[in-house]
Amino acid sequence: GAVVSQHPSRVICKSGTSVKIECRSLDFQATTMFWYRQFPKQSLMLMATSNEGSKATYEQGVEKDKFLINHASLTLSTLTVTSAHPEDSSFYICSAPPRAGQGYTFGSGTRLTVV
Amino acid sequence: DQQVKQNSPSLSVQEGRISILNCDYTNSMFDYFLWYKKYPAEGPTFLISISSIKDKNEDGRFTVFLNKSAKHLSLHIVPSQPGDSAVYFCAARYTGTASKLTFGTGTRLQVML
């Protein structure tokens, strides 16, 4: 079945630095990728939708300059958390939308801890 | 504005008994609903879905019921097994939103031996 590979699975960074999270569709092409964030014991909240070849669409309240999303190719979407702060510590998950006969494909998630 | 809510943050059930997880939504535009199981630090795993044109869908031990008039859906797991212990999320989407999913707040299910 369809697989989305997400890396890194866990990252610890210092406050003020930037962190890049990658999601690759391994056996299919994804023109769109959804990026979610989950705080402890809370729901998965959609942050933005990346679109191959065009600008990402951000949900209300999400800072575009802080969460840079790039969809460089049909198999790679990246989320960069710029100038990270402790409040950005969260679990970030990507998801490819459903295709014919397939459901949503989720990455395994990235646990970001900013110290 | 939480459009999809799971009012029970946790549920404990004895092994072999039925687990019933509930979900309420407010947006009448939603036309497709899904249930996911999730472990900490992992991505969600799809369980079962239902279209708004149906009121029931069954897959093995999992059955989802949809009550459109009440804007309510439920997931029944029977018989419950210890391996079912996880956090369960319902999710919803509607046509025209580029397949974006709106997730509920989650219910932690613990199946006891």
- At which residue do the structure tokens 């943050």 appear? B9
Stretch A31-50: mean pLDDT? 93
Predicted confidence at residue B97, as pLDDT, reads 63
Q: Which residues pair with B104 in a beta bridge?
A: none
Predicted confidence at residue A101, as pLDDT, reads 66
The Cα–Cα gap between A64 and A50 comes to 12
Handedness of CA B50, B56, B58, B64 (dihedral sign): positive
Predicted confidence at residue B59, as pLDDT, reads 96
Percentage of chain A beyond pLDDT 70 is 98
The Cα–Cα gap between A78 and A68 comes to 8
How many beta-carbon pairs below 8 A join chains A and B? 52
Q: Residue B83 — left, alpha, or beta (φ > 0 → left; ψ -120 to 50 → alpha)?
A: alpha
Whether residue A46 and residue B102 make contact (CB cut-off 8 A), yes or no, is: yes
Side-chain half-sphere CA neighbours of B3 within 13 A: 15
> What separation in angstroms does the CA of B11 have from each of B55, B60, B86?
24, 21, 10
Using CB atoms, which residue from B41, B46, B103 is nearest to A44? B103
The Cα–Cα gap between B20 and B102 comes to 21
What is the Cα gyration radius of chain A?
13
Put simply, whether A66 touches B (Cβ < 8 Å) is: no
Predicted confidence at residue B98, as pLDDT, reads 65
Whether residue A43 and residue B41 make contact (CB cut-off 8 A), yes or no, is: no
pLDDT tens across the length of chain B (113 residues): 789 999 999 999 999 999 999 999 999 999 999 999 999 888 999 999 999 999 999 999 999 999 999 999 999 999 999 999 999 999 999 876 668 899 999 999 999 99
Whether pLDDT at A45 is above 80:
yes
Query: b/e per residue, B21-31, with b = 16+ CB within 10 A?
Result: bbbbbeeeebe
The Cα–Cα gap between A63 and A58 comes to 8
Side-chain half-sphere CA neighbours of A20 within 13 A: 8
The predicted-structure confidence for A54-109, as pLDDT tens digits, reads as follows 899 999 999 999 999 999 899 999 999 999 999 999 999 999 988 776 788 999 99
Stretch A22-31: mean pLDDT? 91
Put simply, whether B102 touches A (Cβ < 8 Å) is: yes
Put simply, whether B89 touches A (Cβ < 8 Å) is: yes
Residue pair B107/B8 in contact by the 8 Å Cβ criterion? yes
Using CB atoms, which residue from B41, B101, B104 is nearest to A104? B101
The 8-class DSSP code of residue B107 comes to E
Find chain A residues with C-beta within 8 A of B92's C-beta. none
One-letter amino acid of B72: H
Residue pair B112/B16 in contact by the 8 Å Cβ criterion? no
The average confidence (pLDDT) of chain A is 93
- Mind telling me how many Å the CA of A38 is from chain B's nearest CA? 10
